[in-house]
Structure 1
Amino acid sequence: MIMKIDTLVNTSSAAWEGWNNLGYEARVRILRHWTDQLSPECRAMVEFQCRNAMEHVAKVELMPGPTGETNELYSAGRGMFVVTADSDAPLVAVVGQIAAALVTGNTIFVCLPADFVLSAKELITQLEKSGCAGGVISAINNDQLADLVSHPAVAGVAYTGKLSTTQALARQLAARDGLLAQLISETDFARLPVIGSPTYSLRFVTERTRTINITAVGGNATLLELGSGEEH
């Protein structure tokens, strides 16, 4: 049975806050548990994405503020990402996309060709057994891909495949209304220069600021958080 697009989006959106609030260390533990089920090459890719995320986006930066106020700059997941690839794309590339999207606090929809080396449902089973909550990663059919990419709630698309498809996805994302979406494309199957970049995880996050005022009346702390879905 094919789930309706709005149902898929609502389920993923409901799972996003809990997954994003889980924190980097907890997400890294889950993804490292996942590597027990992967080949050495894919295991190394997951570890690479986790290590770089911890170095480049996991740290909270303290910013100057007035006395009695604490200001923090931190990164959060953008929201929901579509992960898709051509049938001849290497599995290690797809694993890298999934790992980078998940470790940075996003939920994902996986759409893979029927003849891909591993099915989306198998990947979901592996990740849920490793500790991902239901709804954090969902499988979609190829005939749902275009509608989901066009949905205004989707934050971005991570794709491995041909340049022509990359261009078509870019046009589709540019034509839609709502949230400005990211297209993160890898077209070099041999070298994987995009997915293999140490700063790849930066493409999946947005910056947020958190202000804690400890001088409120009665000594109660008040909290204000501001974020931008268009910055990374």
Structure 2
Amino acid sequence: MTTRIQTLIDSSSAAWEGWNGLGYEARIQILERWTETLAPEVRAMVDFQCRNVAEHVAETLLMPGPTGETNELYCAGRGSFVVTAESGTPLVAVAGQIAAALVTGNTVLVCLPSDFEVSAGELVAQLENCGCVGGVIAAVDSDVLDELISHPSIAGVAYAGELSTSQTLARQLAARDGLLAQLICETDCESLPVIGSPTYSLRFVTERTRTINVTAVGGNATLLELGSGEEH
């Protein structure tokens, strides 16, 4: 593992907690500022991902517990995602991948071919100018993609391009050590049925439960009294 790759991954992992904790509303506002610099088709895709996250992912569900505690079910980002694509893939596809990964609370490492219509560095600069702090999104050279996705700290890969390449990526991720990584592929780069799905953002999140336990200060008094009557 090269020092540069390790440094990028360390920076991405360090930035993840703060970005994930920023909240959906704040992340959406940053991406909305990004859309002001984009072509209409690309802007529409980023807006689409933000709207769908607000509808399908952002809400916290309350689940009261039997002894007085409150359980909150919510969605959080998985960690650091690699976003990559083949040459000739439209920018709208890559922008959709980046938007979905970022708005759901993941950090992103962008790895694009050298002849892509916009460089990874340009996309990173645009988003940093709109409010993404250092480490939230970073550019990586395409010649180290294999090395990058083999790192156990990578939570997932979002790829747009050929089916054969997606199969290769799946084998690479399956062969690595550590936790299983999510592979999210779009192989129809004209119609974009995967990236264009209203539930695409669900592929980038994991569900968590936050418990607020009030039993120490009384809890549900009715339940706590059960079985405590006088003996006869």
Fold shared, TM-score > 0.5 on shorter chain: yes
Q: Deviations over 1:69-93 (max 9, x none)?
A: 1101000000000000011000000
Counterpart for residue 204 of structure 2 = 204
Partner in structure 2 of residue 127 of structure 1 = 127
Within a 5 Å distance, the mapping from 1:86-105 to structure 2 comes to: 86-105=86-105
Tell me what 1:32 maps to: 32
The alignment partner of 2:26 has SS state of helix
Q: Residue type of the partner of 2:64?
A: P
Match of 2:80 in 1: 80
Between 65-74 and 164-173, the greater mean CA deviation after superposition: 65-74
Displacement of 1:156: 0.5
Shift of 1:38: 0.3
Q: Partner of 2:6: helix, strand, or coil?
A: helix
- Residue 146 of structure 2 corresponds to which residue in structure 1? 146
* Superposed CA RMSD: 1.4
Where in structure 1 are there 5+ consecutive unaligned residues?
Answer: 220-232
Query: Could you list the runs of 4 or more consecutive aligned residues of structure 1 that deviate by over 6 angstroms after TM superposition?
Result: none
Distance 1:104 1:140 in 2: 21
For 2:103 and 2:209, how far apart are their aligned partners in 1? 20
| 1:3 CA drift (Å) | 5.3
- 1:217 CA drift (Å): 5.6
The answer to whether residue 167 in structure 2 is matched with residue 167 in structure 1 is yes
When normalised by structure 1's length, the TM-score is: 0.91
CA deviations 1:26-78 (Å, max 9, x no partner) are 00000000001100001000000000011111110111302431101000000
Q: Which amino acid aligns with 1:78?
A: R
Distance 1:90 1:98 in 2: 13
Structure 2 Cα separation of the partners of residues 43 and 3 of structure 1 = 36
Shift of 1:214: 2.3
For 1:155, the equivalent position in structure 2 comes to: 155
Q: How many angstroms does 1:172 deviate by?
A: 0.2
Query: Cα deviations across residues 113-144 of structure 1 (Å, max 9, x unaligned)?
Result: 11111000000110000000100001101121
What residue in structure 2 maps to residue 6 of structure 1?
A: 6
Distance 2:103 2:173 in 1: 24
Quick one: distance in 1 between partners of 2:140 and 2:100? Answer: 19
* 1:179 aligned residue: 179
Q: For 1:200 and 1:41, locate their aligned partners in 2 and report how far apart those are by CA, in whole Å.
A: 18
Partner of 1:114: 114
TM-score (norm 2): 0.91
Further displaced range: 136-145 or 63-72 = 63-72
The aligned counterpart of 1:19 is 19
Structure 2 spans left out of the alignment, 5+ residues: 220-232
Query: Which moved further from structure 2: 59-68 or 40-49?
Result: 59-68
Once the two structures are aligned, what percentage of the paired residues are identical? Answer: 73
Measured in 2, the distance between the counterparts of 1:113 and 1:107 equals 20
Provide the C-alpha distance between the structure 2 equivalents of 1:101 and 1:91, rounded to a whole number of angstroms.
Answer: 15
Query: 2:42 and 2:164 mapped to 1: Cα distance?
Result: 27
Give a deviation string over 1:157-216, Cα, whole Å, max 9, x none. Answer: 000111110000000001111111111011111100000000000000000000011233
For 1:3 and 1:103, the matched residues in 2 are separated by: 29
Cα 1:86–1:13 change in 2 (3 A) is same
What is the DSSP-based 3-state SS (H/G/I as helix, E as strand, rest coil) of the residue aligned with 2:53?
Answer: helix
The amino acid across from 2:198 in the alignment is P
